[in-house]
Amino acid sequence: MAQWHPVINAQASEWVLRQGKTGQPYGVVRLFAFGDPNKPEIWFRIVTWAGRSEDRELIGWCRTLEAAAAAGWDHRCADESWRHHRAAKRVDSATMASERPPAAEMVRFYRAALRRRSGASA
């Protein structure tokens, strides 16, 4: 018989999203349980990555871990695309930082652009 260990009861409640095993982090997902402790309502909050929690920005709330991870990935892609677009116009980094849209807006715009692109080719 195996001896009991606390890790048996451990459950993940936070995930750092990164591309590959050694890639830079791009998001943090945290699980929240609300309401009745016997049948809690589960939500996942996705925020941008920053070393300090107070420097992170809300991307959104999702009902599944998969949806939260997808929102984090979409923000990563949207942010890279936006930075590339602004840098191509020779915008300096201080101006870029002041013009950067909120994370949730970036994801909404990016997803709408993907829908338009896929609808145009169909």
Token pair 């116009």 is at which residue?
89
Q: Which residues lie below 8 Å from residue 38, measured CB to CB, with a gap of 6+?
A: none
Strand ranges in the chain using DSSP code E only, listed in sequence order: 14-18, 25-34, 41-48, 58-62
CA angle 115, 47, 28 (to 5 degrees): 110
Q: Nearest Cα to 63, choosing from 36, 37, 26, 31?
A: 31
* 58-116 tens-digit pLDDT: 999 999 999 999 999 999 999 999 989 898 989 888 898 899 999 999 999 999 999 99
Q: Please state the pTM of the whole predicted model.
A: 0.85
Identify which has the larger pLDDT, 120 or 13: 13
Are 30 and 42 within 8 A, CB to CB?
no
